[in-house]
Amino acid sequence: MPTHSRLERLGFVPETGGRPCLWLHAASFGEVVTATPLIRALLDDFPAHALVVTTMTRTGAERVQAIFGDRVRHHFLPLDYPLATRRFVARLDPQLAIVAETELWPNLLAACRRRRVPVVIVNGRLGASTYRFYRRFAALSRGMLTSIAWIGAKSPEDAERFTALGASAGRVTVTGALKFDLALDEGLADASETLRLSWGKRFVWIAGSTHAGEDEQVLAAHAQLRHHDPTALLILVPRHPQRFEAVETLCRERGESVVRFSENPSVNSAATVLLGDTMGDLMRLYGCADVAFVGGSLVPIGGHNLLEPAALGVPVVSGPHLESLREIAESLAEHQARLEVADADALAQVLIALHDDNERRLGLGAAGRAVVAANRGALARTRERIARVMHQK
């Protein structure tokens, strides 16, 4: 793990040793996951360049290190102060800056403009609340966006919002969502199957990336499911590592027999909840499940990645709070690849129905996998435009 985050926040990063540099910023864990296929593509497309990846959070940094090791260099993004950002950009001297999703920092963009570093936004999205925020500072937003070399927008709506804020229409392209191009690690399916077989024949469902106020509802639904089938197993994976202990305590208070994945992944027959308390194993655990509930959606968070279980052919269930990925959610629902529930009782009813209807469960999973396959292509479009900007550089 990086040990000099405080100095890095002030722009004190080492130079790249004479190698040309590409710099990609992915704010946190979720953005790193989304950007992973693009990072791999950049390593293939520009092998002579040093690739620097910055994050805002330590969990994002840990994910970068876990996936890429020393193939990329990680730093924390500097604070948006003029001296810090100028120092950071001068020391990296990147040929291109790539921002994953939308995180616009005025001083950082000004530092790039000062050194003639082109900036592109990939997988760009502007939710309604973010759009309203930037509109409050219309002149500043216009100044930032007019300096962007290219924006790859997730949807036509996102593209319209970028241009309404001041981006040149000729520099905005609707690429689709990079999340559809998620790469499944080789051996993932086998690893999930091996793990699942070690648990014996039982119905397994997962609640991934859950938040406070959501775990209680998930456990209430699981209690109803266990009344229907006492052998059912819940894999509960909180979104944030600092909540692992509290969620384990909550499970025990609710009368569940809990096993921590980090301590005993084999799971004995008496366990009713497997607590996913490791980083980077969510996909393997999704692959073990008969049904996946994706968190951040029963509470007003905006939802998390619905496509991870869908890509594995696992039926997807979510709550109604999906503001951060509305287009993806609607696409899955339109193709009968996602079920939406409002509360714990509705979640329990769906789980029991899918428990008893193997054909419907398999159909939902197959539909989700088909939606992911049909919408791939954002990565190829993004790679092509990045290569074009690099050539113009």
CB 270 within 8 A of CB 182: no
**Closest by Cα among 294, 370, 381, 375 to 328:** 375
Residue spans of the domains in the chain: they are 5-176+377-392, 188-374
pLDDT digit string (tens) for 276-302? 999 889 999 999 999 999 999 999 999
Local structure of 238: helix, strand or coil:
strand
Looking at residue 2, what is its pLDDT?
Answer: 43
Alpha carbon distance 224, 348 (integer Å): 6
Looking at residue 290, what is its pLDDT?
Answer: 98
Q: pLDDT below 70 — which residues of the chain?
A: 1-4, 393
Looking at residue 176, what is its pLDDT?
Answer: 93
Q: Is 327 a catalytic residue?
A: no
Q: Residues 22, 25, 26, 32: what is their CA dihedral angle, to the nearest 10 degrees?
A: 20
pLDDT digit string (tens) for 103-133? 889 999 999 999 999 999 999 999 888 999 9
Alpha carbon distance 208, 304 (integer Å): 9
Residues 6+ apart with CB under 8 A from 317: 291, 292, 293, 294, 338, 339, 340, 341, 347, 350, 351
Strands (E) located in 239-309: 258-260, 273-275, 291-294
Strand pairing partners for 17?
none
pLDDT digit string (tens) for 304-349? 999 999 999 999 999 999 987 888 999 999 999 999 999 999 999 9
Pick the CATH number of 5-176+377-392 from 3.40.1120.10, 2.40.50.140, 3.40.50.11720, 2.60.40.290: 3.40.50.11720
According to CATH, the superfamily of the domain at 188-374 is Glycogen Phosphorylase B; (3.40.50.2000)
DSSP letter, residue 132:
H
φ and ψ at residue 261, rounded to 5 degrees: -60, -35
One fold for 5-176+377-392 and 188-374: yes
Local structure of 295: helix, strand or coil:
coil
Marked catalytic residue, from 8, 15, 31, 253: 31
